[in-house]
A and B are shown apart, each in its own frame.
Chain A
Amino acid sequence: MSALVLCMDVGFSMSNSEPGQEPSFEQAKKVIQKFVQRQVFAENKDEVGLVLFGTDGTKNGLAKDGQYENITVHRHLMMPDFELLEEIESELQPGGQQADWLDALVVCMDLLQKETMGKKFERLNIVLLTDLNVQTSADQLDVIIDSLKKAGITLQFFLPFPVDGEDRADGGGDGPGPSAAPARPGKGLSRQQTQGLEMVKNIMTSLEEEDSLEEVYTFSDALQKLSIFKRIDRRPMAWPCQLTIGSSLTIRIVGYKAVTEEKVKKSWAIVEAQSHQRDDVKRETVYCLDDDNETEVQKDDTIQGFRYGSDIVPFSKVDEDQMKYKSDGKCFSVLGFTKQELIRRHQFMGSQVVKVFAPRDDEHAAVALSALIRALDSLKMAAIVRYAYDRRSNPQVGAAFPCIKEKYECLLYVQLPFMEDLRQFTFPVLENNKKFTPSASQLSAVDALIDSMMLVEKDEDGESVDVFKVNHFPNPQFQRLFQCLHHRGVNPDDPLPPVEPWLKRDLERPQAVSARCQTALQDVKTKFPLKVVVKKKEQKTSADVFGSSADEPDAKKVKVDEETEFNLAEIAKGNITSVRLSCLKSVQIDAFAYALLTAPAHNVLHQSGNAELFNSYMQSLKRSVPDRNLQEFWDLLIQDALTLISKDEVDGSTFSKQDANQFLAFEQKEEVQAAPVQEDTGDVDDLVSVSCLFGCFNDKHIIYYICECNSDL
């Protein structure tokens, strides 16, 4: 847990701005808002205080005899809540005074020291947001630095301009963010600001040994990458264990979750729509048999079972616990060592990476682990280990890779798959496939595209720089959620706001890359003909009708009643007794057509012999066209000349070729008139499943297509 004081300059100089630029005050306020928003909605346990300086009034514990004036402790250390957000929104206003930022810093230190007394905080941090445009008295500087060090308080500065000119903007921030270029230091800085900047550098370099200036940010930096606030994030739990190699070699270790997917923690409760009360909604779960009456069963009358293939095996919780696999507790046991290249990156499993160190106080373990890490590193090998987090958790097999950094060494543990996790699919060949082999000019077009879209660029020193470091982006999901929660909290009746533009921008290709690749992209476009295959439902041919379904991720799913009987067997055997040609009446033609178009058709090839059956079906189908509203469907048959089987084709037929040809023509009007009105008789069963059988010719073979569909699409 950490404690942090936000210390913001609200003095009058903060309200000044260059034409067309947002005043520093507004920028700093946004930084604070964003930060507090994140703290509130992520329900961070850290305590936050807010100190303003340059305020018209004075309210702080040190103010006495005209000292520490115009400094206001707006909020004492506590967990930030929605109220704080509202206060910032409405009460945080520019002041008309100026105050010494060093004085404000002292007030913050005092606040931190007094209010953290008796509590345990891992980290104390002060965040100063100021334009440094005020006269400061530097005579106390050494004392201040000294007490900061003594109290273990860290500092972060947020300024309207970068501390070291261009280097800061590029080197510190990864990526050429689309932010407006911050003002150059030196240029346009007042005397106080130049002086203040020197003091900032002075403080920061004396507080930390190296990279101290990395904790000085610009406002625009901060707005873009809230990850800057990571410094105050919670630390992962330590997992002490022992690495074992055989039974005689043991090394004490400590593991930490280093990378894992951060999820939205808070779930949504269900409330009654009018009262907004949770208590008004009662949830009830009932158990029922899978029979027609859905007979209810008491919970106590149920037992637990598992499927074992086609069997369901009753297996009580008690028995299950008794018989289940028992692991003998926490472990990190080496099973053997293997070449790193045998472990494929794409076969990493699980959702985390664990960093493994030796315990802090155990230098012997550190030496032993270091020997292992270095041995593995130089041999390009990794350890395959059995990993169990604790007695209750399932054991894993994973790989421990050596990782040697400038400042430290560790093992990186990743879970690997079990045999049961893998699916071996075979895919058709791509290379050496004449149809798909790209030509030399196509390949060079792709090469040019790749060149123009490289996200790694050389800087002045010839060092390559990654301009799109995804791992520095905050997850937009959280930002968006917090923005919406904040908005709805403040304006309960407003619709949700649009996604913030900068958030959207972060998800786009960097502008420079986008501009650079235009020519190459055009070239690729002309050299590779890419054509959307027209959706089957738009082109009505029977081949399409019965082609396999093209299911997009969002396409409506056709629900199929598996158990619907249709008796293909009998057809194939040639002695049809009954074919379920369930009524199609009152089925919407759209739904029906849709089903035909999407449901994968089953076809059964059948040699001659059943012409009569087919013909009689076709006749009955034709009769039912008007009252089932199947005209469109019938049109499909016409289109593909799917008609009666004539004598010419199959001997058994009683129809001449002419009969067959005329068959499809429809005396529609008369039939419609003749047909009794049968719509909406409310026969629900008919609406549920529709089977249909019809055919088309293929030399001397008849292919029967059976389609079934669910009409409640």
Chain B
Amino acid sequence: MAEWRKYYPNEDDEVEEDEEDSGGDYKISGRDSLVFLVDASKEMFIKGEDGEPSNFDMTMQCVRSVYTSKIISSDKDLVALVFYGTEQSKNPRNSFKHVYVYHDLDSPGSQRLLDIEKLLGEKGAQFAEKTMGSGETSLGDALWCCSNLYSDIKLRLSHKRLMIFTCRDDPHRGDGAKDRQARTKAADLKETGVVIDLMHLTKPGGFDVSLFFCDIVSPPEDESELGLQIEPSRKLEDLQKRVRAKELKKRSQSRLTFSLGEGVNLAVGVYVLARTATKPSAVKLHRDTNEPVRTKTRYFHAHNGGILLPNDMKRAQVYGKKQIVMEKDEVDKIKKFDDPGLVLMGFKPMDRLKLHHHIRPALFIYPEEEQISGSSCMFTALLLQCSENNLFALCRYIPRRNTPPRFVALVPQREELDQSQSQATPPGFHVIFLPFADDIRTVDAHVGPTASDEQVDKMKEIVHKLRFKYKSDAFENPVLQQHYRNLEALALNMLEPEPIEDLTMPKVQMMNARLGPLAQEFKDLAYPPDYNPEGRPAAKRKTAESGGGAAEKKPKVEMSEEELKNHVAKCTLGKLTVPVLKDAYACKQFGIRSTGTKKQELIDALTMHLSK
């Protein structure tokens, strides 16, 4: 969550402001922290039936995936890994027995990832036995030790979470004193703002939360929340999902007023549930020391060399020969239409929301009772009635000051639970951005012959053979994965990065096998025998490549200064292509150095030079 800025670099100005928002949020609240408190008793190492991984192994895989995801998405967050019920002891002051702090609270890096890998699988179990062993259990001591980990941190912590992974519902086997101590320590932790979750794992005969752990874990966020997962996690995916849902603290991007009309205002938080993740931007380092280097940008007066303060500068645009100058704050204010907020325009049936009216990823809103009391009730009523009648609410949306409005569709979503009773979809409205007329391009439709029923039926067979259940989290981004594998390899001095599996590539072999003769049958129905759909464009490309054709065909158009001046006079420079402009631009006779590549920059520079 931290450092979104890096992970989600500026797509445009507005998004940039977004980042500033969440960045600011992060700065206020400090870092998130997460302690994995893992049971290392013998029971944890028992393998499941049919060679299923042991609970310990499953937990370690899960921890590893959290470490990796933290490295990628929130590298400032702190993570710790502590084992309890070990034979050996290792903790800062060695004041607790049978508690093994494998990693204290720190941001995860490459070394830690390697450490975790040592604990994976069969070898991992052996390694754990050798280094830590299994011994007595005192959850109280373990919790006390964790509380010290938190207090040793000198940084500001915003969100503190502790997850207990165990398959033993009665860890002290009826030792009342130990139970009591654990409860007290848990209460102490909770008082300091640590949220304690139980990630309970399968146990023969069932895990009984009410025996002991119900007094240890934090109460649910609100009284109605489902609270304890009654079912233990059997599968790694279940566990990962559970951990992932808790691991990130949800933060609203902003809190806004949602106005239904004069005097009827509720408060909502705006959340980002999906945003294109891109490679983080590079950091500049000093060549000799690998220290990070900061950049400072200063503005100077070209003639007297004096430093220019913001007040000494204005903003300008040039249209043809006309320069239009504004103050910086005027430029900002032009974008202001109203105060930030959501304003209800009215309602429409869902079928009026067109599939192709899409311009950016959606947001999500949820009521903020702490801002305006009564918001949740009003919000729920709207949600129920919209969903009941299959309607969406149309609103005007201004996310921030000095941001122009957009119209959005608020699409209701009621809560859904999955089989394991955890939330599959949260209750609230999705905010779908709607295009303005300017955003819709005129496309001249290609009208061609249509397929016959026979052809359509054959294609249906093909579609049927290749059907699968789409899941939105099924595809990893190969570009990002490769990037992080590369970094991993460099950080860990590996010879070469681990290969990635590119899930975006079609599984051609499998598809062909499933289709069997269908593909040929369809081609026989739709294509004449001599038709080659791959032929023509490929041939074209070949000629272009072989002879360096394209370049030769079009001889370089060198513009004379006269011609260019003519263009400047007529304001038709814009019609020239960038390469031509660049040629002219870089042309030594003009003595202008090419600094920018944007067309407008080239044009501006040329205009300036030639109209002198």
Contact = CB atoms under 8 A, between A and B. Distances in A.
B162 to A, nearest CB: 15
Contact of A259 (B359, B466, B469, B604): B359
B250 interface: yes
Contacts of B443: 235-236, 256, 258, 355
A703 to B, nearest CB: 8
B299 A309 contact: no
A708 B347 contact: no
B565 interface: no
Contact of A41 (B67, B277, B319, B474): B319
B495 interface: no
Contacts of A394: 477, 479
Among A254, A258, A313, A476, max chain B CB count under 10 A is at A313
Contacts of B415: 427, 429-431
Interface in B88-140: 106-110, 112-113
A64 B284 CA distance: 73
Given A306-B487, A367-B455, A408-B446, A79 B571 contact: yes
Interface stretch (B32-40, B166-174, B185-193, B210-218): B185-193
B476 A419 contact: yes
B316 A271 contact: yes
Contacts of B294: 287-290, 294
Interface stretch (B49-57, B329-337, B544-552, B582-590): B329-337
A463 B482 CA distance: 54
Contacts of A235: 441-444
B469 to A, nearest CB: 6
A151 interface: no
Interface stretch (B20-28, B175-183, B231-239): B20-28
A521 to B, nearest CB: 4
Nearest to A475: B436
A156 to B, nearest CB: 14
Contact of B385 (A396, A397, A446, A474): A446
A488 B451 contact: no
Given A281-B313, A344-B472, A476-B404, A489 B324 contact: yes
A248 B312 contact: no
B107 A310 contact: yes
Contacts of B487: 306, 308, 313, 315
Most chain A C-beta atoms within 10 Å of own C-beta, residue among B272, B295, B479, B604: B479
- Among B158, B360, B379, B500, the most chain A Cβ lie within 10 Å of the Cβ of B360
B29 A600 contact: yes
Interface stretch (A139-147, A554-562, A670-678): A554-562
Contact of A269 (B303, B340, B343, B604): B604
Nearest to A447: B385
B460 A289 contact: no
B156 A602 contact: yes
A599 to B, nearest CB: 8
Which of B254, B265, B441 counts the most A-chain CB atoms under 10 A from its CB?
A: B441
A453 interface: yes
29 contacts: A242-B534, A268-B317, A278-B316, A290-B293, A304-B284, A325-B479, A337-B467, A360-B446, A365-B533, A367-B452, A367-B526, A412-B355, A420-B72, A423-B250, A427-B426, A428-B224, A431-B384, A438-B380, A453-B346, A454-B346, A470-B435, A476-B337, A484-B334, A524-B260, A558-B28, A563-B155, A568-B153, A602-B156, A708-B156
Contacts of A284: 297-300
A597 interface: no
Contact of B441 (A1, A260, A359, A381): A260
Interface in B302-357: 302-303, 308, 311-326, 330-331, 333-335, 337-338, 340, 343-349, 352-357
A603 B193 CA distance: 8
A538 B579 CA distance: 62
A270 B277 contact: no
Contact of A337 (B27, B156, B434, B468): B468
Contacts of B600: 43, 265-267
Interface of A is mostly: mixed
A124 to B, nearest CB: 16
Given A235-B443, A455-B346, A397 B504 contact: yes
Contact of B404 (A265, A324, A477, A524): A477
Residue from A40, A43, A423, A447 whose CB has the most chain B CB atoms within 10 Å = A423
B437 A573 contact: no
B570 A364 contact: no
Interface string A7-36: 000000000000000000000000000000
B282 interface: yes
Given A242-B534, A324-B482, A433-B224, A553 B506 contact: no
Contacts of A412: 355-356
B472 A347 contact: yes
Interface stretch (A54-62, A106-114, A165-173, A369-377): A369-377
B530 to A, nearest CB: 10
Given A278-B316, A367-B455, A509-B345, A304 B441 contact: no
Contact of B154 (A244, A254, A426, A565): A565
A564 B413 CA distance: 43
A346 B362 contact: yes
Given A437-B380, A449-B260, A418 B475 contact: yes
A665 interface: no
Interface in B244-262: 244-246, 248, 250, 254-256, 260-262
Contacts of B10: none
A496 B287 contact: no
Interface in B416-452: 422-423, 426-428, 430, 432, 434-452
A532 interface: yes
B302 A280 contact: yes
Contacts of B9: none
Given A308-B109, A429-B427, A450-B389, A422 B274 contact: yes
A269 B462 contact: no
Interface stretch (A186-194, A204-212, A295-303, A640-648): A295-303
A682 interface: no
Contacts of A355: 356, 443, 445
B519 interface: yes
A246 B511 contact: yes
A308 B110 contact: yes
B406 to A, nearest CB: 9
Nearest to B478: A325
A480 interface: yes
A285 B384 CA distance: 55
Interface stretch (A225-233, A614-622, A627-635, A656-664): A225-233
A562 B224 contact: no
Contacts of A347: 274, 362, 472
The 10 closest A-B pairs by CB, nearest first: A366-B448, A227-B437, A371-B451, A408-B445, A605-B191, A309-B71, A346-B430, A310-B109, A477-B404, A357-B446
A443 interface: yes
B359 A351 contact: yes
A449 B259 CA distance: 13
Given A375-B460, A419-B476, A521-B260, A259 B394 contact: no
Interface stretch (A90-98, A125-133, A195-203, A328-336): A328-336
